[in-house]
């Protein structure tokens, strides 16, 4: 059996969704990627690139699964700090790959603070950010390299810590593509949009409880901000009801199970349709890992 390596993204042109949105739409979905999201690209590249026997990181779930899987592939230990309100399906998935899960109450201690404590406890460990890490950005850039071959005007992708969009921009530009990239961010967790308006990095003091748990970051990473402030065309701030609508449309019109964070790109089109009308659009669906009970409730 061939060893696991990142899979090419899956490109779809769901005609019913195209007709409903009234735009020339391609969906690039990472829901079929190993561990169910684009994060495997980053996790694989990071675990393959460092000599450390142990990786410590924080995650709402998808990066945790990705790095746990990659650590098992490369024979490394893995400890993942996760909020205690993380989706049970994501916690279970991280553990299933052999990682140790450290659950915390983020109203009492931040992910970063707990990671710092663990780094002191395990001095041989590599401390990995799910987004603000050169190996993560390089891994995510492989998606940008793939999408550079598409004949589209705009790529729309979710924004949390900025790992996906900074990777997309890095891969696109390296491949010689000048395709415009637009970020889609929850209005409830709009630190990136506020950073662009302020012209400097703005960070929150606590995690916003948006449905898009992958975007519950306190702010963009420094490395990500350096790339995005120069390369990202704009950010569309998405209300929660549009996230739910996008998730439902993906299910009903494209037969695609999408997690709330993964639905942000489609939700951005629903939020600001005039911006995208008349253009060839690629929406990146970042992942499909969602708690079954929550998903059933949202699509009902």
Mean pLDDT over residues 75-83, rounded?
96
What confidence tier does 106 reach under pLDDT thresholds 50, 70, 90? confident
**Sheet with 54-58, edge to edge strand ranges:** 100-104, 77-83, 54-58, 125-128
Kindly give, in sequence order, each residue whose CB lies less than 8 Å from that of residue 119, ignoring residues fewer than 6 positions away.
Answer: 56, 125, 127
What confidence tier does 88 reach under pLDDT thresholds 50, 70, 90? confident
pLDDT digits (tens, 9 = 90+) for 237-251: 999 999 999 999 999
Spatial contact of 195 and 187, defined as CB atoms under 8 Å apart: no
Separation CA 61–CA 64 (nearest Å): 5
Mean pLDDT over residues 27-46, rounded?
97
Give the model's pLDDT for residue 107: 85
Q: Are strands 180-186 and 125-128 parallel, antiparallel or unpaired?
A: unpaired
Q: Where are the domains of the chain?
A: 10-37+134-299, 39-128
pLDDT over 90 (residue 53):
yes
Which helix (H) or strand (E) is 182 found in, with range? strand 180-186
Give the model's pLDDT for residue 234: 97
What confidence tier does 190 reach under pLDDT thresholds 50, 70, 90? very high
pLDDT over 60 (residue 1):
no
User: What is the value of pTM for the model shown?
Assistant: 0.94
129 phi/psi in degrees, rounded to 5? -85, 145
| Residue range 10-37+134-299, CATH number | 3.40.50.1100
Fold of 39-128: Rossmann fold (3.40.50)
Give the model's pLDDT for residue 2: 59
If you write DSSP's letter for every residue of 83-119 in order, what string do you get? ETTS-HHHHHHHHHTTPEEEEE-TTTS-HHHHHHHHH
Mean pLDDT of the chain: 95
pLDDT digits (tens, 9 = 90+) for 257-266: 999 999 999 9
Same fold, 10-37+134-299 and 39-128: yes
What confidence tier does 180 reach under pLDDT thresholds 50, 70, 90? very high
pLDDT over 90 (residue 36):
yes
Separation CA 226–CA 6 (nearest Å): 26
At 4 the three-state DSSP class reads coil
């Amino acid at each position: 059996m061939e060893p696991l390596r990142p899979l090419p993204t899956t490109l779809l042109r769901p005609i019913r969704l195209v007709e409903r949105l009234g735009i020339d739409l391609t969906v690039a979905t990472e829901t079929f990627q190993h561990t169910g999201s684009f994060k495997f690209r980053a996790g694989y590249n990071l675990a393959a690139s460092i000599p450390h026997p142990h990786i410590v990181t924080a995650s709402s779930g998808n990066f945790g699964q990705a790095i746990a899987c990659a650590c098992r592939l490369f024979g490394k230990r893995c400890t993942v700090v996760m909020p205690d309100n993380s989706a049970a399906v994501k916690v279970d998935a991280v553990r299933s790959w052999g990682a140790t899960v450290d659950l915390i109450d983020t109203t009492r201690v931040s992910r970063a603070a707990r990671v710092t404590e663990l780094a002191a406890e395990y001095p041989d460990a590599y401390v990995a950010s799910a987004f603000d890490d050169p190996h993560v950005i390089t891994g995510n850039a492989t998606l940008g390299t793939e999408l550079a071959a598409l004949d589209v005007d705009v790529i729309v992708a979710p924004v949390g810590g900025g790992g996906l969009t900074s990777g997309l921009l890095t891969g696109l530009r390296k491949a010689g593509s000048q395709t415009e990239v637009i970020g889609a961010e929850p209005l409830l967790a709009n630190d990136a949009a506020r950073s662009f308006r302020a012209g400097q990095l703005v960070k929150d003091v606590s995690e916003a409880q948006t449905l898009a748990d992958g975007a519950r970051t306190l702010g963009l990473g420094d490395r990500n901000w350096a790339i995005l402030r120069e390369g990202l065309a704009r950010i569309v701030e998405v209300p929660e009801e549009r996230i739910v609508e996008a998730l439902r449309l993906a299910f009903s019109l494209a037969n695609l199970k999408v997690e709330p964070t993964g639905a942000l790109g489609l939700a951005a089109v629903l939020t600001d349709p005039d911006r995208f009308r008349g253009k060839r659009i690629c929406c990146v669906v970042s992942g499909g890992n969602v708690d079954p009970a929550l998903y059933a409730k949202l699509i009902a």
